[in-house]
Structure 1
């Protein structure tokens, strides 16, 4: 296996490996090589041994088999990409699947924590063996920088895909935060802890319910530190009054003031999450179209987008960063829980024992989240990335991951999920081209007379909307067939050709 293929296996981006056939008679001649650790490696002797005739014969070097690939990892990653495309491009037509305007959890609110969960699982597998710590640290830093770079390019405001054919961003208003930036920071923290504590990690198999935690306690200490920082800042930080300038296309710029003077506030206007981002990044560098504008207090069209009410509070017009600094610190817990599932996968051989630990933790997290939410102690809130939101989405991720594992890896029903595996193997490509609209923007660049007369718009209107006589249903079907199915086929072709785009 060459170096690139090893790297793809480690990062969950290579095809399902097929172990080389082994002839039993040849196995005996090689000194009785034996397979250990469920096909992860083959041990044997490479020294000269005596044959029956007394002549020395050189035994061939041990044959190293490829890692037995967990197909659930790719399928779960592919599911997350599919959900992102669905809610991003069909959420405007079906607001019930779009992000919750504030408290609560919708289909769109599962995307980010599912990403971070699977990042954690992949880290555990990728850094299971670390020959050289310095090389691992360099790899982590380089990958983090790549993710940050692409995040700023795609979501910082430079790219106006897919509808606006212009490009470029005013550095005075560039958005520093985004999806890839959050993934980069969570990956950096969780992966660095995993790499730097490699020598202190247990190597035994079949760790129990408690020993799996104590054996990897440094990851949980990191998660605990993130929890303490988030909770202390959220409930102890004083949030003063603040102001911002709204830039509306049809109106001159106008300054608005939001009255606060509170601590521990979990509403849209005066929470510590927004205050930290305004202080660190500056109000001009935050996301300018927050989902809270769909609240009843802001628009009569709630929960859909619409014109603001005449009596809407000032904060309805304000920017807010959903992937900000303090909420990213809380998001580290999603990665920590994900890496715990990866540790269970590594240290537990039996399917039944893996599922027991996974499902027990998933159900426990769901119960904690429901109690916190319905007692109104800490509501489930994606914009704040509240602790109840961490528990609820991580618990759901654990249950879905366990279900995928049973169906795909235990029962072997892979065929219905192959398109998810293909997308998961080329997740970065599909994210950039489909979820961020880069491919659609390229196609839109070739139009006839008017930018609206492009192939993408023609297909959406004449093949889907006009045929079904419904803008909503036509939009949904366009997303399912012209985007998700299309990129599933493209990913399958690339997989057959052995082409993968990774960072």
Structure 2
């Protein structure tokens, strides 16, 4: 499917490029979330402490970008807008509710405390971004209008962070100890946020605005794929322009994943657009079966199911405890990690090896589902 020889895609058709990038994002999330020893983690797999950006910071935004792209590929906006797709909105609402409830269940798994149950989360943010992307994809026909909405959301969020005084502080602030995102999270959720002692949630209320804008960038990319995906080099150039804009914007508004600053969302969107354009050229043509990409595609076909299963398994390993020789108790993960990698001389390599083994186990489950042709949908 080279440029000039592509035709519009059939609604709902799966693309290897999207599946592989989704698999890459999930693999990155699992690897970053599951070090063997949290005190010894290679820098690219650590999230930035506050301002800044690492590879680990970009994997979840890449997934949000792909949520929007998948919406554009799967939803026939003309049919839905004209009423020729009865039942679409109830199904979409059901999907949003299932994702949100799964997220609450993930937060409560083996650590249920109604008084301090975290309400926001990764799956909850995916649910909201999916809802916004689906709604605007159907309601907004023109791509340039979606571009205007994205620009307005990112600029508006920048103005809020830069100019709106934080209540109780009396001035704008991007500090960890006092920021508008944290104030609103405290107002809406109270104690029901990320960690005890924090004043904000990385998937909080206000930062959902730029996250949804990133999903709409994905919708625009998905529409391009739906139209046949011609001009991949031009799209890659647009992604590079977003990267450059994000880099320049960082000087005025620092990258910050926890606040999902507009500069960070712009840079992450550039990463997503560029990767998708390249992946489309490499993977979606019939002359390129790309057997080397099969592991990522297997992960991508059941990305959410694999992520949820991996998250529940990781929580179980950390919360189930066993007695040790000293009479104290240690987590099952600590016991297994010491047994498997405790003798390694490089603690960073040992910590990475645990994460890789965890990822391989998740991939094995995904490969089994793919071999049987099973796709688990929320």
Return the alpha-carbon distance in structure 2 between the equivalents of residues 423 and 318 of structure 1.
Answer: 33
State which of 170, 184, 188 in structure 2 corresponds to 1:261. Answer: 170
Say whether the 8 Å CA contact 2:321–2:330 is kept in structure 1. no
Say whether the 8 Å CA contact 1:120–1:190 is kept in structure 2. yes
Q: Could you say which residue in structure 1 is the equivalent of 2:276?
A: 401
Task: Pick closer, same or farther for the CA change 1:331–1:277 going to 2, 3 Å.
Answer: same
Q: Could you say which residue in structure 1 is the equivalent of 2:162?
A: 235
Return the alpha-carbon distance in structure 1 between the equivalents of residues 256 and 318 of structure 2.
Answer: 37
Say whether the 8 Å CA contact 1:75–1:417 is kept in structure 2. yes
Q: Could you say which residue in structure 1 is the equivalent of 2:98?
A: 146
Q: Could you say which residue in structure 2 is the equivalent of 1:365?
A: 242
Return the alpha-carbon distance in structure 2 between the equivalents of residues 38 and 318 of structure 1.
Answer: 48
Return the alpha-carbon distance in structure 1 between the equivalents of residues 303 and 31 of structure 2.
Answer: 15
State which of 115, 126, 129 in structure 2 corresponds to 1:186. Answer: 129
State which of 204, 212, 223 in structure 2 corresponds to 1:343. Answer: 223
CA offsets 1:363-409 (integer angstroms, 9 cap, x no match) = 11111111111xx3111111111111011111112222223223322
Superposition deviation, residue 124 in structure 1:
0.4
CA offsets 1:9-68 (integer angstroms, 9 cap, x no match) = xxxxxxxxxxxxxxxxxxxxxxxxxxx94674xxxxxxxxxxxxxxxxxxxxxxxxx965
In the TM superposition, 1:374-393 aligns within 5 A as 376-393=251-268
Higher RCO (Cα < 8 Å, 6 or more apart): 2
CA offsets 1:334-386 (integer angstroms, 9 cap, x no match) = 10111111111112453xx1x1232121111111111111xx31111111111
Gaps of 5+ in 1: 1-35, 41-65, 161-166, 202-214, 242-259, 290-316
State which of 103, 106, 109 in structure 2 corresponds to 1:159. Answer: 109
Q: Could you say which residue in structure 1 is the equivalent of 2:67?
A: 119
Q: Could you say which residue in structure 2 is the equivalent of 1:329?
A: 209
Q: Could you say which residue in structure 2 is the equivalent of 1:295?
A: none
Q: Could you say which residue in structure 2 is the equivalent of 1:301?
A: none
Superposition deviation, residue 428 in structure 1:
1.7
State which of 205, 212, 220 in structure 1 corresponds to 2:147. Answer: 220
Q: Could you say which residue in structure 2 is the equivalent of 1:462?
A: 339
Say whether the 8 Å CA contact 1:117–1:337 is kept in structure 2. yes
Task: Pick closer, same or farther for the CA change 1:344–1:154 going to 2, 3 Å.
Answer: same
State which of 20, 26, 29 in structure 2 corresponds to 1:81. Answer: 26
Say whether the 8 Å CA contact 1:419–1:489 is kept in structure 2. no
In the TM superposition, 1:280-299 aligns within 5 A as 280-282=188-190, 284-288=191-195
Q: Could you say which residue in structure 2 is the equivalent of 1:273?
A: 181
Length-normalised TM-score, structure 2: 0.86
Return the alpha-carbon distance in structure 2 between the equivalents of residues 377 and 437 of structure 1.
Answer: 39
Return the alpha-carbon distance in structure 1 between the equivalents of residues 200 and 42 of structure 2.
Answer: 20
Q: CA RMSD in A?
A: 2.7
Task: Pick closer, same or farther for the CA change 1:228–1:470 going to 2, 3 Å.
Answer: closer
Residue 104 of structure 1 aligns to a residue whose secondary structure is: coil
Return the alpha-carbon distance in structure 2 between the equivalents of residues 175 and 69 of structure 1.
Answer: 34
Matched, 1:483 2:363: no
Superposition deviation, residue 318 in structure 1:
3.9
Length-normalised TM-score, structure 1: 0.66
State which of 48, 51, 54 in structure 2 corresponds to 1:103. Answer: 51
CA offsets 1:285-339 (integer angstroms, 9 cap, x no match) = 22226xxxxxxxxxxxxxxxxxxxxxxxxxxx54321111111111111101111
Residue 375 of structure 2 aligns to a residue whose secondary structure is: coil
Return the alpha-carbon distance in structure 2 between the equivalents of residues 269 and 439 of structure 1.
Answer: 29
Return the alpha-carbon distance in structure 2 between the equivalents of residues 80 and 382 of structure 1.
Answer: 16
Return the alpha-carbon distance in structure 1 between the equivalents of residues 216 and 247 of structure 2.
Answer: 20
Return the alpha-carbon distance in structure 2 between the equivalents of residues 39 and 287 of structure 1.
Answer: 41
Return the alpha-carbon distance in structure 1 between the equivalents of residues 192 and 208 of structure 2.
Answer: 16
Matched, 1:502 2:357: no
Say whether the 8 Å CA contact 1:133–1:195 is kept in structure 2. no
CA offsets 1:71-94 (integer angstroms, 9 cap, x no match) = 011111110111011111128221
